[in-house]
Amino acid sequence: MFMKKTFYSVFMLLLVMVMAACGVKKPENSTMKKTTEMSQPTGSNVVDRFADIQVLRYDINGFDNLSLNQKLLVYYLAEAGYYGRDINYDQNFKYNLEIRKAFETIVANTKGKDNDENYKKFLTFAKQFWFANGIHHHYGMDKFTPEFSQSYFIELMKSTGAKLSPPAIEAIFNPSMYAKRKVKDATKDMIVSSANNFYGEGVTQKMVEDYYSRIIDKNDPEPIEYGLNSTMILKDGKAYEDVWKIGGRYGKSLEKVNENLLQAIKYAENEPQRNALQKLTEYFKTGALKLWNEYNILWAHATQGDIDYILGFIEVYGDAIGKRATYESVIQINDFEASKQMAVVAANAQWFEDNSSIKPEHKKKKVTGVSYKVVQVAAESGDCSPSTPIGVNLPNNEWIREKHGSKSVSLGNIIAAYEKASGPGMLKEFAYDQAEIDRGTKYAALAGKLHTALHEVIGHASGQINKGVGQPRETLKNFASTLEEARADLVGLYYLMDQKLVDIGLMPSLEVGKAEYDGYIRNGMLTQLQRLDMGKNLEEEHMQNRQLVASWAFAKGRKDNVVEKVVRDGKTFYHINDYNKLRTIFGDLLREIQRIKSEGDYNAGKALVENYGTKVDPTIHAEVLKRVKPLNLAPYSGFVNPILELVKDKTGKPVNVKITNNQGFVEQMLYYGKKYGTL
């Protein structure tokens, strides 16, 4: 299964407000100041600022225009999403829920310590924990390092009545234990080395691989997503899948999820939507992955109506070997005007497929069921909150996509919130010249939105796997997500310099494409390194993908000086000398990565990622951190959600759903913990 989310990054709107994860105490040579030195929120929609994070607020436009039934549908879908929140915490690390409850008790019962430096450090640590849904950095996966002592923490617990087991306390303060939530290093046992909670004690990578090699039928034309919704444990010395379902692991959470989904079904807008929701509740009851396939088919065809949702165990980024999925939910309302403007992308899906640079035998003869909408997010939970994607393309199962199609959404109000909080600092610091700055200022926002649309709608929907090859998550293994994101990015890049986009009215000129090329190379080669600690290699799949594409293109174009590296006054810049040749290079790489996917060429995919997507030049990295530091920007951003409140009349009948949007970050985390705690 491949991750089909698009995350907001500097190359898209020239911001550093990338939604990925929360912060961690940085070493001295990092871009981060210490917690107590961080500036306070300044933007009109900035709710909080701590460590390397800013928390923003988004609006839900058009909610009042919905009918009462539609509002109730949104409300119950949102409630269903929130009640699965505990699952994601537990998936990320086995002590997370215990730690979270202790933190909630401490913060809720501590007064008068606003000027206590140790308490400030603890509160920042707690905020980082809440933002990451656990004790490990959501993007970098490293464990947070507390700036306060264990003895001080124990005093806090005693004074507030908080409880925490000795092993959980040791997990917080012992730096050698549970150091990284996900380890993607092929030289190690990635399961044993990773601190996530997808695998029980004693389970090794070889056990898991042997288990699935025995049960997977590679000739099955309609396979399930093996391992998607279970914890693998040892039972009588053998690998066993402990399925996430009602009556099983995470059953208490899923009961509350289903309870609200059943309420939502009462207000479904149409029969296809109702059927899909009903199938989803059946799946949560049984955990049967055949039902998950059936649900995804129904969901992919349920394209009518104003309300939609993403909910369940979907993306496998959290698992180093790409099997097990984290829980997430995104509840969304169609933005009719914006969707109408962008519908031309989906309408031309077959043209894009036919004119791609990939080999003819890897092209789809008929692109099926592609839809694209710009939406207003109404609620997010689990792995999509507080850090959120800006675009999603689902379902992930490749044969369902090929046979039944897919749905793509761009989260319009999330993008708008990022734009509202934006600033020009990164562009001015890292752009090669004034012409690049001017082009970025004028066109980068549109370019980023178009790239997102092309990435989601055309990129993930394009290409086909050769018969009998098997699913990419099985053939390409731990490199599948990185290669898929690179492939989808390359589709967007290839067409952003095509006159077709001008002719169909998506952009005024090819200057928009040039702005995206500038930003992509700049980000892949330089600016994204601000999110990485010195001495680290790239492990997060989106970061690997962007460096892979940019560095491969730079290397292949070196002979013709297509992209020029310029050092000026001790600062490194990358300048594109020939945009058309760069487009050809992007097309060549797209063709190769599609071949790798279509043929299941693991070795070639591994070589691409390891040679171009993981290694970091320490000299360039140090330079980037030095240049970014004076800008005092938060590398990561996320959101608090508006609160949806059910309004009833004297008889208890629902008459409205009211929105309030004024909670602070800490306030919301305490509210969620109290209201939606299930495990």
Q: What is the pLDDT of residues 627-648, one digit of tens each?
A: 998 988 888 999 999 999 999 9
Nearest Cα to Cα of residue 515 among 529, 503, 501: 501
Q: Identify whether residues 380 and 500 lie together within a single domain.
A: yes
143 token code pair: 């464990």
Q: Is residue 171 part of a domain?
A: no
Q: Is residue 493 part of a domain?
A: yes
Name the strand (E) or helix (H) holding 334: strand 326-334
Nearest Cα to Cα of residue 227 among 157, 319, 153: 319
Q: Identify whether residues 497 and 570 lie together within a single domain.
A: yes
Give the global pTM. Answer: 0.85
Asked if omega into 166 is within 30° of 0 (cis), the reply is no
Contact status, residue 520 vs residue 490, Cβ threshold 8 Å:
no
Which of helix, strand or coil describes residue 175? coil
Name the strand (E) or helix (H) holding 654: strand 654-660
Q: Identify whether residues 538 and 481 lie together within a single domain.
A: yes
Q: How far is CA 291 from CA 27, 39, 186, 254, 408, in A?
A: 47, 49, 33, 16, 22
Residue pLDDT, tens place only, 202-245: 999 999 999 999 999 888 999 999 999 999 999 999 999 999 99
Q: Is residue 669 part of a domain?
A: no
Q: Is residue 135 part of a domain?
A: no
> What pLDDT is attached to residue 467?
87
Q: Identify whether residues 317 and 348 lie together within a single domain.
A: yes
Q: Identify whether residues 284 and 205 lie together within a single domain.
A: no
| Cα–Cα dist 268/72, whole Å | 9
Q: Phi and psi for 235 in degrees, rounded to 5?
A: -130, 115
Q: Residue 222's domain spans which residues?
A: 190-243
Q: How far is CA 616 from CA 58, 130, 139, 324, in A?
A: 35, 29, 17, 28
Residue pLDDT, tens place only, 496-514: 999 999 999 999 999 999 9
Q: Identify whether residues 273 and 327 lie together within a single domain.
A: yes
Q: Is residue 672 part of a domain?
A: no
CB atoms within 10 A of CB 427: 24
| Cα–Cα dist 393/395, whole Å | 7
> What pLDDT is attached to residue 423?
67
> What pLDDT is attached to residue 367?
87
Q: Identify whether residues 557 and 508 lie together within a single domain.
A: yes
Q: Phi and psi for 174 in degrees, rounded to 5?
A: -90, 110
Contact status, residue 6 vs residue 455, Cβ threshold 8 Å:
yes
Q: Which of 243, 272, 307 is the last residue of a domain?
A: 243
Q: Phi and psi for 542 in degrees, rounded to 5?
A: -65, -40
For residue 304, name the pLDDT band (cuts at 50, 70, 90). very high
Q: How far is CA 491 from CA 256, 352, 360, 361, 592, in A?
A: 40, 9, 15, 17, 12
Which of helix, strand or coil describes residue 673? helix
Residue pLDDT, tens place only, 511-530: 999 999 999 999 999 999 98
Residue pLDDT, tens place only, 47-72: 999 998 999 999 999 899 999 999 99
Q: Is residue 81 part of a domain?
A: no
Residue pLDDT, tens place only, 389-404: 988 999 999 999 989 9
Q: Identify whether residues 227 and 327 lie together within a single domain.
A: no
For residue 15, name the pLDDT band (cuts at 50, 70, 90). very low
Q: Phi and psi for 50 in degrees, rounded to 5?
A: -155, 155
Q: Is residue 508 part of a domain?
A: yes
Q: Identify whether residues 57 and 194 lie together within a single domain.
A: no
| Cα–Cα dist 476/607, whole Å | 11
Nearest Cα to Cα of residue 94 among 190, 25, 157, 165: 165
Q: Identify whether residues 300 and 234 lie together within a single domain.
A: no
- The 3-class secondary structure across 523-561, one letter per residue, is HHHCHHHHHCCCCCCCCCHHHHHHHHHHHHHHHHCCCCC
Q: Is residue 258 part of a domain?
A: yes
Q: Which of 181, 216, 243 is the last residue of a domain?
A: 243
Structural domains of the chain, count:
2
Q: Identify whether residues 223 and 368 lie together within a single domain.
A: no
Q: Identify whether residues 574 and 529 lie together within a single domain.
A: yes
